[in-house]
Homo-oligomer: A and B are copies of this chain.
Amino acid sequence: MINFKLMKRLFPVLFLIATSISAQSDIEKIKSYVSNKKYDWLKEFMEFIAIPNINPDSINLHQNAYFIQKLLNDRGVHTELLKPDMKGVAPVVYGEILTPGATKTIAFYAHYDGQPVNPAQWLSGLSPFKPQLATDRMDRGGKFISLPENKNDLNDDWRLYGRSSADDKAGVYAIIAGYEALKESGCTAGINIKFFFEGQEEMGSTNLPDIMIKYKEKLNTDLWLIADGPRHQSGRKQVVFGVRGDVNLGINVFGAKRPLHSGNYGNWAPNPAMRLAQLLASMKDKNGNVTIKNFYTDVVPLTAAELKALNEVPEVEELLKKELGINKPDGGGKKYLELLSLPTLNINGFQSANVGAQAANIIPTVASAVLDLRLVKGNNVDKQMKKVVDHIKMQGYYVTDKEPTDDERAKYPLIAQVRKIGNGYNAQRTPMNLPIAQEVIKAIQRTTPDKMVLLPSLGGSLPLYMFETILKAQPITLTMVNYDNNQHAENENLHLKFLWEAIESVAAVMKFY
């Protein structure tokens, strides 16, 4: 084996040219391999999508973990399941590959659990766990299609529908297939590789801190590469240096103890749907700015380097407005990326009694909303949640975390039940000039002629603060899937091309030089 380190020290310029040529030829080999394997991979990936993956369905989540173990074992990676002390929890699937001579270790993270689904909301013919190919996005005239007999009939622009086809089984599969592509195309890894696949991300990675503490030695690395989230809307490949934090809040507001006839009690009995509407309306102005006291005060401003990076990101607002049917975005004129750098208060959903054919002329007993608070650097989960609770109290509400008792009902005119859902977590940002991250970017840039997008922070959330606080590690995120994937919602889908290109990116990072 050639001693690359020695060569590099002796003939720096020559080495640079040689590695650059060799890198490009490696990329060609990887791309060629990917191109030949798409059909087999798609079949295997569809089997993966077919396994339900919604917490707390422990049995199916374990089936996902076993499936991932098999994927890795088939490619010669020895695996084990990392489990927290709590029983029945979806385990982490872990594997590692040591590369002779490598001095750096990168861990590749993705999660195999998915967001909750309401199958009734999916398009007719689609079902979250029956992966279905379509010739295009269904709302753009796509037609359902079966996996073709002939592998050459496969089209990169087809969509694969199913829960987690994008978020984040695509991430899991890209990492595993990326390793295969590197190995089988005759290239050698330039780093030690750790595989780390989590099954609790969509519920706030509740037991991940336990696992990190328990397996701290094993999880020691130079960098964590998080494979999750959509590529930039311009279509360019993207690396992100931070994420927003996240916490969910459930709010219930109460009316009479039993549903009342809206005629016989209308004007007299308080309507909880109206009360909740008034309460929610008090939280934002017409431009979508949060009006809760001190909501924006702890925010750490972006650094000069981060602001500069933001300015280099291609503009996509007009594209998004057209594509999404939005005339006027929220934010009172602030730019999209600027808005993603601020904390949010989002209504994930609300409900009181029924609408549509089941609506009846009643005064409902309860109105419910689920809020999603995204946090940025400087925000703290509990502090941010307290701001919301304090606001609700300021509106005259008695706040409890339980169903109100008869005594409480008799005592207080306005009662809100407020519960934190899951643990929530803070935001995280890795410095954009971190040397190993720069190397990763260079590797990925080799796979694409388009200038990559580098973002200080994703609008979305991942529990990356844990990497910093527990593992003292630096995470960066490689976003991979199409931005129009309906992530977290009904009709989630993967634009196939994005999976193939993600596999190339992962292989290039593992090649690393």
Contact = CB atoms under 8 A, between A and B. Distances in A.
Interface of A: 115-118, 121, 139, 229-230, 243-244, 246, 248, 250, 254-271, 273-274, 276-278, 280-284, 286, 288, 322-331, 334, 336, 339-340, 342, 344, 346-364, 367-370, 372, 374, 396, 404, 406, 409-413, 421, 458-461, 483-484, 486-491
A157 B460 CA distance: 57
24 contacts: A115-B361, A118-B358, A244-B263, A259-B488, A262-B372, A262-B374, A264-B340, A266-B344, A267-B288, A271-B288, A273-B349, A274-B280, A277-B277, A277-B281, A277-B347, A277-B350, A325-B406, A349-B360, A349-B364, A350-B351, A350-B367, A351-B352, A360-B488, A361-B488
A313 to B, nearest CB: 14
Contacts of A258: 139, 324, 484, 486, 489, 491
A461 B263 contact: yes
A421 to B, nearest CB: 8
A268 B330 contact: yes
A348 B329 contact: no
Count of identical protomers in the assembly: 2
Nearest to A489: B259
A488 B358 CA distance: 11
Q: Give the 9 A-B residue pairs with the shortest CB-CB distance, closest first.
A: A263-B460, A259-B489, A349-B353, A281-B281, A325-B409, A267-B339, A328-B413, A266-B344, A256-B324
A348 B356 contact: no
Contacts of A268: 329-331, 336, 339-340
Contacts of A280: 273-274, 277-278, 281
A256 B248 CA distance: 22
A458 to B, nearest CB: 7
Contacts of A244: 263
B326 A117 contact: no
Indicate the member of A118, A250, A346 with the most B CB atoms within 10 Å.
A346
A361 B348 contact: yes
A322 B409 CA distance: 9
B346 A349 contact: no
A355 B250 contact: yes
A451 B280 CA distance: 47
A270 B329 contact: yes
A462 B213 CA distance: 67
Contact of A347 (B286, B330, B352, B459): B352
A355 B257 CA distance: 20
A342 B267 contact: yes
A497 to B, nearest CB: 19
Contacts of A243: 263
Contact of A361 (B350, B353, B372, B410): B372
A340 B409 contact: no
A331 B266 CA distance: 10
Contacts of A412: 327
Contact of A263 (B370, B413, B458): B458
A458 B458 CA distance: 57
A396 B327 CA distance: 13
A165 to B, nearest CB: 14
A350 B273 contact: yes
A209 to B, nearest CB: 20
Indicate the member of A348, A409, A458 with the most B CB atoms within 10 Å.
A348
Contacts of A409: 325-327
Contact of A269 (B326, B355, B359, B483): B326
A352 B277 CA distance: 12
A278 B280 CA distance: 8
B263 A325 contact: no
Nearest to A336: B268
A362 B486 CA distance: 9
A261 B349 CA distance: 13
B361 A270 contact: no
A354 B360 contact: no
Contacts of A255: 326
Nearest to A56: B357
Contacts of A262: 344, 346, 348, 372, 374, 488
Given A325-B409, A487-B261, A349 B342 contact: no
A271 B404 CA distance: 29
Contacts of A324: 256-258, 260, 269
Nearest to A286: B278
Nearest to A255: B326
Contacts of A121: 354
